[in-house]
Chain A
Amino acid sequence: MTFPSLAPRALVVRRGRFSLRVRVRTVVVTAVIAAVTAMVAVLALSLGDLPLTPAQVLGALLGVDGGFTATVVREWRLPRVLAAVLFGAALGASGAVFQSLTRNPLASPDVIGLSAGSYVGGLGAIIVLGAGAGSVPVSAGAIVGGLAAAALVYALSYRRGIQGFRLIVVGIGVSAMLQALSTYLLLRAKVEVAMVAAVWGAGSLSAVGWAQFLPAAAFIVLAFAALSAFSGSLTRMELGDDAARALGVRVEGARLGLVVSAVALTAVVTAAAGPIAFVALAAPQIAHRLTRTAGIAILPSAAVGALVLVAADVVAQHAMPTPLPVGLVTVVVGGAYLVWLLIHETRRRA
């Protein structure tokens, strides 16, 4: 059912007690991005030392082809590609939450020090406990580190409420301090341990197999479920805290739930694949421009994040003379974007 009189560009569904309204443009754009992501994923599965056709890839996925091709696709390549998709979605959603909460496009977990906090936490687990990338101690360390960084940034930038730009400036400062701390930790570590940490720290999906992917995926799904419970509150909190409270939103509780879920998303990805910069920063803004939603929407941001990361991983693996960590590709592309955004934001405020 549609109601042209009120919202010509929206689709309304009502079945019994269930009712939903969605913007046509948002649905179409998100679906197209998801479809492109699926195509890039199939491409990623077909590239490598054993080049395959898309038909062979699909055959292996559906279990039609057996043997070596199936092993290559399902055991070697699939976890990495799925990880790129899911981790990208997690980073995009995490960035969307922070940008929406602060109403500032610069406020993403990698800019305001939360990724750096996760990194230090994970690094601590690797160096002190000798844990491997993607293991439970590293994940726990990354989550604790991320939350601690979030609490620190929040406390340092709190002055009669939180103001977006102050939070970002404080976050950049905290981020720099945490990076110095991680460098110090690396220098103090044994060479072999430092090597493991350095490979992890570049942000790479090359070590991700089913054993690393599945626990991370379970956690990400949980965090997404938590986010969806708070997303209605988030939409109202964009109007300002007073307006949201007047609409019956439990602002403090919702903000805590959203921050913890979003930090958890970044931290899980960081634990499994190391810090992957700029996806969380760029994806929500790209999604916002494509869908033209009011404010920042989580689902389209997640879709764009998935596409960006899976595409960046294809580039990192296959388009370079030697395979690179995907974090390096996102840093190079995202760095240029960050410079542009900083200039743009400064001018807007001037």
Chain B
Amino acid sequence: MTASARLTAEGLTIGYDRRVISENLSVAIPDGSFTVIVGANASGKSTLLRALARLLTPVSGTVRLDGRPLGDYQPKELARVVGLLPQTSIAPDGSTVVDLVARGRYPHQGFLRQWSADDEAAVTQAMEATGTADLAERLVSELSGGQRQRVWIAMALAQQTPILLLDEPTTFLDIAHQIELMELLTDLNAQGRTLVAVLHDLNQAARYGSHLIAVKEGRIVSEGAPDDIVTAAMVEEVFGLRCVVTPDPVSGTPSVSALGRARAARS
């Protein structure tokens, strides 16, 4: 694949409190892809995402958007191109769905321009795309986990960025809501948004992602289309898990089954 890439990183070394998490990482996020970053716990996958969103300043190396280092962008200017759904966000007491989604318009607003017709249209569209329009006047605190996550995604969509980063968007959801969310993300991707998500579930990553980045101990071990790179050898290297990889009966994408004991013998 020789796709163009607006968001790239070169020679990234990232760390917290002088502890190095990743060293000399280079990635390019293909435009229009649904890129999924996978890896074991504490492998540095969220750290990589945070660096791409400029939440972390790399110790060395540069993240570039359209060839310009992220550090050269004004915060609002960057926020009009790259959006982020953080792992945890807080809904202020008493906020309704529309209150929250409307806050996503901040990078497009100014001191005089606080609620333009564009803001209105973007918020309406975002709520329709996520199926939250009917919830507009509900309090966020009254919603179920799945609904709430869709509202947060609506807020990120209202930001109208061509690139959207998502940090473990399915973590607190049950299996049905996880699938519902992945389907929603697939739709958004099909409409032309570039998505980058950190996911735990390798099968979902292989099924919904178009480009996979496998991270281990802060290094990129493997990168490419799921069909090409999800193999038993790769899974064993990245997760330390022995497994077999078979085609998923529904989607035909690689599906991982762990080796180990079968169910405990029944009497």
The answer to whether B86 touches A246, judged by C-beta atoms less than 8 angstroms apart, is: yes
Chain B contacts for A20, CB-based, 8 A = 114-115
The answer to whether A247 touches B90, judged by C-beta atoms less than 8 angstroms apart, is: no
What are 14 A-B interface contacts by the 8 Å CB criterion? A6-B136, A14-B115, A14-B117, A19-B115, A103-B92, A238-B92, A240-B86, A242-B86, A246-B83, A247-B103, A247-B106, A248-B77, A250-B75, A288-B94
In Å, the complex CA distance between A245 and B56 comes to 11
Known interface pairs A246-B85, A288-B93; 5 further A-B residue pairs with C-beta atoms within 8 A, sorted by A's residue number = A12-B115, A232-B106, A247-B107, A288-B94, A295-B93
Distance to closest chain A CB from B156 (angstroms):
8
Contact of A242 (CB < 8 Å), options: B78, B84, B91, B99? B84
A184 lies within 8 A of chain B by Cβ: no
In this complex, the interface size class of chain B, counting residues with CB under 8 Å from chain A, is: 35 or more
Q: Which of B83-126 contact A (CB under 8 A)?
A: 83-96, 98-100, 102-104, 106-107, 109, 111-117, 119-120, 123-124
Chain A contacts for B50, CB-based, 8 A = 242
For A8, A17, A240, A248, the residue with the greatest tally of chain B CB atoms inside 10 Å of its CB is A248
B200 lies within 8 A of chain A by Cβ: no
A-B contact number at CB 8 A: 112
In Å, the complex CA distance between A132 and B78 comes to 51
In Å, the complex CA distance between A248 and B85 comes to 13
The answer to whether A248 touches B76, judged by C-beta atoms less than 8 angstroms apart, is: yes
The answer to whether B116 touches A19, judged by C-beta atoms less than 8 angstroms apart, is: yes
A5 lies within 8 A of chain B by Cβ: yes
Given the known inter-chain contacts A20-B114, A247-B79, A247-B107, please indicate yes or no for A239 contacting B91, CB distance below 8 A.
Answer: yes
The chain A residues found within 8 Å of chain B, CB to CB, are 3, 5-9, 12, 14, 17-21, 103, 229, 232, 235-236, 238-240, 242-243, 245-250, 288, 292-296
Distance to closest chain B CB from A158 (angstroms):
13
In Å, the complex CA distance between A238 and B84 comes to 16
Given the known inter-chain contacts A5-B124, A19-B113, A21-B114, please indicate yes or no for A248 contacting B95, CB distance below 8 A.
Answer: no
Given the known inter-chain contacts A17-B113, A235-B103, A248-B75, please indicate yes or no for A240 contacting B88, CB distance below 8 A.
Answer: yes
B159 lies within 8 A of chain A by Cβ: yes
Chain B contacts for A18, CB-based, 8 A = 112-113
Nearest residue in B to A253 (C-beta to C-beta)? B75
The answer to whether B109 touches A232, judged by C-beta atoms less than 8 angstroms apart, is: yes
The answer to whether A294 touches B75, judged by C-beta atoms less than 8 angstroms apart, is: no
For A9, A14, A229, A245, the residue with the greatest tally of chain B CB atoms inside 10 Å of its CB is A245
Chain B contacts for A246, CB-based, 8 A = 53, 55, 79, 83-86, 156
In Å, the complex CA distance between A330 and B89 comes to 36
Chain B contacts for A232, CB-based, 8 A = 106, 109
Distance to closest chain A CB from B160 (angstroms):
12
For A243, A246, A250, A296, the residue with the greatest tally of chain B CB atoms inside 10 Å of its CB is A246
Chain A contacts for B92, CB-based, 8 A = 103, 238-239, 294-296
Chain B contacts for A248, CB-based, 8 A = 74-80, 106-107
Contact of B90 (CB < 8 Å), options: A7, A19, A240, A288? A240
The answer to whether B107 touches A292, judged by C-beta atoms less than 8 angstroms apart, is: no
B228 lies within 8 A of chain A by Cβ: no
Distance to closest chain B CB from A161 (angstroms):
12
Ranked nearest first, the 8 interchain pairs of A and B with the lowest CB-CB distance are: A248-B79, A295-B92, A294-B95, A21-B115, A246-B84, A248-B76, A242-B86, A248-B107
In Å, the complex CA distance between A238 and B96 comes to 14
Nearest residue in A to B127 (C-beta to C-beta)? A6
B54 lies within 8 A of chain A by Cβ: yes
In Å, the complex CA distance between A246 and B123 comes to 17
In Å, the complex CA distance between A19 and B136 comes to 21
Nearest residue in A to B92 (C-beta to C-beta)? A295
Nearest residue in B to A239 (C-beta to C-beta)? B89
Distance to closest chain B CB from A7 (angstroms):
5
0/1 interface trace, chain B 118-155, chain A, CB 8 Å (1 if under): 01100110000000000011000000000000000000
Nearest residue in B to A236 (C-beta to C-beta)? B106
Distance to closest chain B CB from A6 (angstroms):
6
Distance to closest chain A CB from B122 (angstroms):
11
The answer to whether A7 touches B136, judged by C-beta atoms less than 8 angstroms apart, is: yes
Nearest residue in A to B84 (C-beta to C-beta)? A246
In Å, the complex CA distance between A295 and B91 comes to 8
Chain B contacts for A14, CB-based, 8 A = 115-117
The answer to whether B107 touches A295, judged by C-beta atoms less than 8 angstroms apart, is: no
Distance to closest chain B CB from A25 (angstroms):
11
Distance to closest chain B CB from A101 (angstroms):
12
The answer to whether A247 touches B104, judged by C-beta atoms less than 8 angstroms apart, is: yes
In Å, the complex CA distance between A12 and B118 comes to 13
Given the known inter-chain contacts A243-B89, A247-B104, A288-B94, please indicate yes or no for A294 contacting B99, CB distance below 8 A.
Answer: yes
Chain B contacts for A243, CB-based, 8 A = 84, 86, 89-90
Nearest residue in B to A103 (C-beta to C-beta)? B90
In Å, the complex CA distance between A236 and B109 comes to 12
In Å, the complex CA distance between A247 and B83 comes to 7
Distance to closest chain B CB from A278 (angstroms):
21
The answer to whether B120 touches A6, judged by C-beta atoms less than 8 angstroms apart, is: yes
Given the known inter-chain contacts A246-B79, A247-B79, A248-B76, please indicate yes or no for A294 contacting B100, CB distance below 8 A.
Answer: yes
Q: Which of B191-249 contact A (CB under 8 A)?
A: none
Nearest residue in A to B83 (C-beta to C-beta)? A246
